[in-house]
Amino acid sequence: MIQFENVGFRYKRGPEVLQNVDLEIPAGSFQFITGESGAGKSSLLRLLYLDSMPTAGRISLFGRDVTTLTRDEIAWFRRRIGVVFQDFRLLDHLSAAENVALPLTVAGVREAAYRDNVTEMLQWVGLGDKMEVRPPELSGGEKQRVAIARAVVASPDIILADEPTGSVDPAMAERIMALFVEMNRLGKTVLFASHDLAMIEQYKLPITTLRGGTVASGKRASGRGAAA
């Protein structure tokens, strides 16, 4: 489903933030992406969301070279990808429920068809009582949970999560991890970027480590978790 071949990436004329990246992620797998701050985790996810294009090498997504996609095809591919951004990217003039529903409303789904799913997702992340609250009135951790609910509500084929447990307490982090693991068990491909090695090592799932913009290693952690 996802293949990087000798991929490089730089922002405008700056230095390469990713270089010579070779990575293959099968459909239906769960992959942790880890590394120190600045290692290239967010840039890698940005390429997968088609927010940017590689400046070198080739990325294949859903069997297509991403650089050959038209604007309409990029929009269609993005509907198959759910993303949890570090900066949340919520719309301040919409309620929490309306933000979560965005992938469905953009796809033309009627409110009556998705209302229960939106409610269930917000309840899962502990925000059932904040459905009508707008982002400026939410804490950072609450905004992160809204972003997580939005990423999974449409049951996308790929879920990209950039530090999704970074602003929540350990109990909620455990609950969020359970949600991602369950989505993976339903056949979704999950890429979970985090530098929290203590949490990652609890799960028996593949790990790709980035160091200085390159893939330093790929291994399977020991401990509990779902099979990828």
Q: What is the pLDDT of residues 77-134, one digit of tens each?
A: 999 999 999 899 999 999 999 999 999 999 999 999 999 999 999 999 999 999 999 9
Co-location of 149 and 164 in the same domain: no
Co-location of 150 and 204 in the same domain: no
Co-location of 151 and 57 in the same domain: no
Co-location of 125 and 28 in the same domain: no
| 174 occurs within a structural domain | no
pTM (predicted TM-score): 0.90
Mean pLDDT lowest for which of 33-37, 52-56, 115-119, 150-154?
Answer: 33-37
Count of domains forming the chain: 2
The boundaries of the domain holding residue 210 are 1-80+158-169+179-228
CB pairs under 8 A, 24+ apart, for 58-64?
A: 58/3, 58/4, 58/5, 58/6, 58/7, 59/2, 59/3, 59/4, 59/5, 59/7, 60/2, 60/3, 60/5, 61/1, 61/2, 62/1, 62/157, 63/1
